[in-house]
Amino acid sequence: MRLTKYFLLAILFSLVLISSEIFVEIRQHPFKGPKPDLQNIIKQHPQGWQPIPGSSVDPRTNSPYDLVASQIYKRTDGKAASIVMTWSYDGFHRAGHAQEVCYNSQGFTVSTPKNSSVILGGQKLDVVTFEGRYGDMTEDVIYWRVTGGIHDAALQENISMTQRFKEVPRILIGDIPNNLMVRVSTWRSATDPPSTVHIDYIKSYLQSVPPKTRHFLTGL
């Protein structure tokens, strides 16, 4: 078999990743600063939206993340949007999961996820979108992640080898970034056209929170 330079680079990259994994397991010194107050952040809501009582997640709930928060908000016209946040000190081993995979494992029929964007004033928030169908209902979903304060909404298969390689030095020295995942969705009848209720909510929400909070949530 002929060994091309791309094949050799792939082997080298794999060896570096394996070595970095071992090194991280030995060090395991992710930053242990104060945790963000997700419960307070998620309870902030824009004008015209009210929380549905009993729809939040108990922060003590057992999960693979350090923090989990969830809330459903209803608009004055009765339309509702759900927002979920997960956060981990260790954004390498316990980053927010690819949500389309999670939905599929829960029995949803998931559409092909796509890269999209939401315009917030003069900024563009990149997101991943998909539809999850369960019975005669469909959930329209968007989500994104922020790793080490840097916005990341690329589908995993679209992340270049060069971009992955840039993370290796940080991993080798034990500089493990934290990770935030934000998911926003809304339900509708499977026969109805795609909804924009969750988009309307996240636009209003991110424009209503303080700039520091918006930067934490988006990396923008």
pTM of the model: 0.78
Residue 95 scores a pLDDT above 70:
yes
User: For residues 33 and 159, which has the higher predicted lDDT (pLDDT)?
Assistant: 33
Give the number of C-alpha atoms closer than 13 A to the C-alpha of residue 35, restricted to the C-beta side: 15
Q: What is the pLDDT of residue 158?
A: 47
Q: What is the mean pLDDT of the chain?
A: 82
**Total tally of structural domains belonging to the chain:** 1
Confidence class for position 13, pLDDT limits 50, 70, 90: low
Question: What is the spatial distance between Cα 152 and Cα 148, in angstroms, rounded to a whole number?
Answer: 10
HEC sequence for the chain: CCCCHHHHHHHHHHHHHHHHHHHHHHHCCCCCCCCCCHHHHHHCCCCCEEECCCCCCCCCCCCCCCEEEEEEEEECCCCEEEEEEEEECCCCCCCCCCHHHHHHHCCCEECCCEEEEEEECCEEEEEEEEEEEECCEEEEEEEEEEECCEEECCCHHHCCHHHHHHCHHHHHCCCCCCEEEEEEEEEEECCCCCCCHHHHHHHHHHHHCCHHHHHHHHCC
Residue 55 scores a pLDDT above 80:
no
Confidence class for position 113, pLDDT limits 50, 70, 90: very high
Rounded mean pLDDT, 83-109: 90
Confidence class for position 90, pLDDT limits 50, 70, 90: confident
Confidence class for position 49, pLDDT limits 50, 70, 90: very high
Q: What is the pLDDT of residue 159?
A: 47
Q: What is the pLDDT of residue 126?
A: 94
What separation in angstroms does the CA of 204 have from each of 78, 109, 130, 146, 201? 16, 29, 21, 20, 5
Rounded mean pLDDT, 77-81: 95
Rounded mean pLDDT, 151-177: 58
Rounded mean pLDDT, 161-179: 59
> What is the span of the domain harbouring residue 123?
5-218
Residue 89 scores a pLDDT above 50:
yes
Q: What is the pLDDT of residue 17?
A: 57
Residue 38 scores a pLDDT above 80:
yes
Q: For 59, phi and psi rounded to 5 degrees?
A: -60, -15
Q: What is the pLDDT of residue 104?
A: 94
Residue 64 scores a pLDDT above 50:
yes
User: For residues 64 and 119, which has the higher predicted lDDT (pLDDT)?
Assistant: 119
